[in-house]
Amino acid sequence: MLDNQDVAVLSRVNELAERHGLKPYDFVATSKVEEDGGRITHVLEFEVPARGNALREERFNRMLKDIGIVPSDRAVLKGDTATIIDALDNALQLAPRPRRNL
Protein backbone atom coordinates (compact mmCIF):
# COMPACT_ATOMS: atom_id res chain seq x y z
CA MET A 1 0.00 0.00 0.00
CA LEU A 2 1.28 3.44 -0.91
CA ASP A 3 1.33 5.87 2.02
CA ASN A 4 2.35 9.49 2.60
CA GLN A 5 5.94 8.51 3.42
CA ASP A 6 6.31 6.66 0.11
CA VAL A 7 4.84 9.66 -1.69
CA ALA A 8 7.29 12.00 0.07
CA VAL A 9 10.24 9.81 -0.93
CA LEU A 10 9.15 9.32 -4.54
CA SER A 11 8.26 13.02 -4.98
CA ARG A 12 11.80 13.94 -4.00
CA VAL A 13 13.20 11.28 -6.35
CA ASN A 14 11.22 12.73 -9.27
CA GLU A 15 12.28 16.29 -8.46
CA LEU A 16 15.91 15.20 -8.23
CA ALA A 17 15.66 13.32 -11.52
CA GLU A 18 14.17 16.36 -13.24
CA ARG A 19 17.03 18.53 -12.01
CA HIS A 20 19.45 16.02 -13.53
CA GLY A 21 17.65 16.16 -16.87
CA LEU A 22 15.87 12.83 -16.47
CA LYS A 23 12.21 12.05 -17.03
CA PRO A 24 10.22 9.76 -14.71
CA TYR A 25 10.05 7.19 -17.52
CA ASP A 26 13.87 7.04 -17.86
CA PHE A 27 14.16 4.79 -14.78
CA VAL A 28 12.08 3.05 -12.15
CA ALA A 29 12.32 3.80 -8.43
CA THR A 30 10.39 1.82 -5.84
CA SER A 31 9.78 2.67 -2.22
CA LYS A 32 8.86 -0.11 0.15
CA VAL A 33 9.08 -1.21 3.74
CA GLU A 34 10.73 -4.45 4.80
CA GLU A 35 10.12 -6.03 8.18
CA ASP A 36 12.62 -8.44 9.66
CA GLY A 37 12.01 -9.74 13.15
CA GLY A 38 10.07 -6.65 14.19
CA ARG A 39 12.66 -4.27 12.72
CA ILE A 40 11.22 -2.04 10.01
CA THR A 41 13.48 -0.76 7.24
CA HIS A 42 12.55 1.63 4.44
CA VAL A 43 14.03 0.60 1.07
CA LEU A 44 14.46 2.88 -1.93
CA GLU A 45 15.52 0.89 -4.96
CA PHE A 46 16.43 2.14 -8.44
CA GLU A 47 16.44 0.20 -11.68
CA VAL A 48 19.18 1.28 -14.03
CA PRO A 49 17.92 3.04 -17.19
CA ALA A 50 18.02 1.32 -20.53
CA ARG A 51 21.51 0.80 -21.80
CA GLY A 52 22.66 2.49 -24.97
CA ASN A 53 21.99 6.11 -24.04
CA ALA A 54 25.27 7.38 -22.62
CA LEU A 55 23.98 10.82 -21.63
CA ARG A 56 21.01 9.41 -19.72
CA GLU A 57 23.22 6.83 -17.99
CA GLU A 58 25.71 9.55 -16.99
CA ARG A 59 22.94 11.73 -15.55
CA PHE A 60 21.41 8.78 -13.71
CA ASN A 61 24.77 7.77 -12.21
CA ARG A 62 25.44 11.36 -11.11
CA MET A 63 22.04 11.45 -9.41
CA LEU A 64 22.77 8.19 -7.58
CA LYS A 65 26.15 9.47 -6.42
CA ASP A 66 24.55 12.65 -5.08
CA ILE A 67 22.15 10.50 -3.05
CA GLY A 68 25.07 8.46 -1.72
CA ILE A 69 24.48 5.31 -3.76
CA VAL A 70 27.29 3.63 -5.66
CA PRO A 71 25.94 3.00 -9.17
CA SER A 72 25.64 -0.73 -9.80
CA ASP A 73 23.21 -3.27 -11.15
CA ARG A 74 21.23 -2.97 -7.91
CA ALA A 75 21.12 0.59 -6.62
CA VAL A 76 19.54 0.54 -3.16
CA LEU A 77 19.33 2.88 -0.18
CA LYS A 78 18.09 1.41 3.11
CA GLY A 79 17.35 2.96 6.47
CA ASP A 80 14.55 4.56 8.36
CA THR A 81 12.26 6.91 6.46
CA ALA A 82 13.90 10.04 7.89
CA THR A 83 17.33 8.85 6.73
CA ILE A 84 16.08 8.23 3.19
CA ILE A 85 14.36 11.63 3.01
CA ASP A 86 17.43 13.39 4.46
CA ALA A 87 19.66 11.76 1.82
CA LEU A 88 17.30 12.91 -0.93
CA ASP A 89 17.08 16.44 0.52
CA ASN A 90 20.89 16.64 0.64
CA ALA A 91 21.08 15.46 -2.96
CA LEU A 92 18.54 18.12 -3.95
CA GLN A 93 20.82 20.77 -2.45
CA LEU A 94 23.67 19.51 -4.65
CA ALA A 95 21.58 19.19 -7.81
CA PRO A 96 21.46 21.83 -10.52
CA ARG A 97 18.73 24.42 -9.95
CA PRO A 98 15.90 24.65 -12.46
CA ARG A 99 16.11 27.62 -14.78
CA ARG A 100 13.29 30.11 -14.71
CA ASN A 101 11.87 31.61 -17.85
CA LEU A 102 11.90 35.38 -17.71
With a cut of 70, say whether residue 101 has pLDDT above it. no
pLDDT in tens, 4-60: 999 999 999 999 999 999 999 999 999 999 998 888 899 999 987 766 789 998 999
Q: What is the DSSP string of 36-90?
A: ETTEEEEEEEEEPPPTT-HHHHHHHHHHHHHHT---SSSEEEEE-HHHHHHHHHH
62-to-12, 16, 31 alpha-carbon distances in Å:
16, 11, 20
At residue 37, the pLDDT reads: 86
At residue 102, the pLDDT reads: 57
71 pLDDT band (50/70/90 cuts)? confident
At residue 50, the pLDDT reads: 65
Identify which of 48, 55, 37 has the alpha carbon closest to the alpha carbon of residue 71. Answer: 48
Each domain of the chain, given as residue ranges in start order, spans 4-94
Work out whether the CA dihedral 52, 84, 10, 102 comes out positive or negative: negative
Comparing 36 with 81, which gets the higher pLDDT? 81
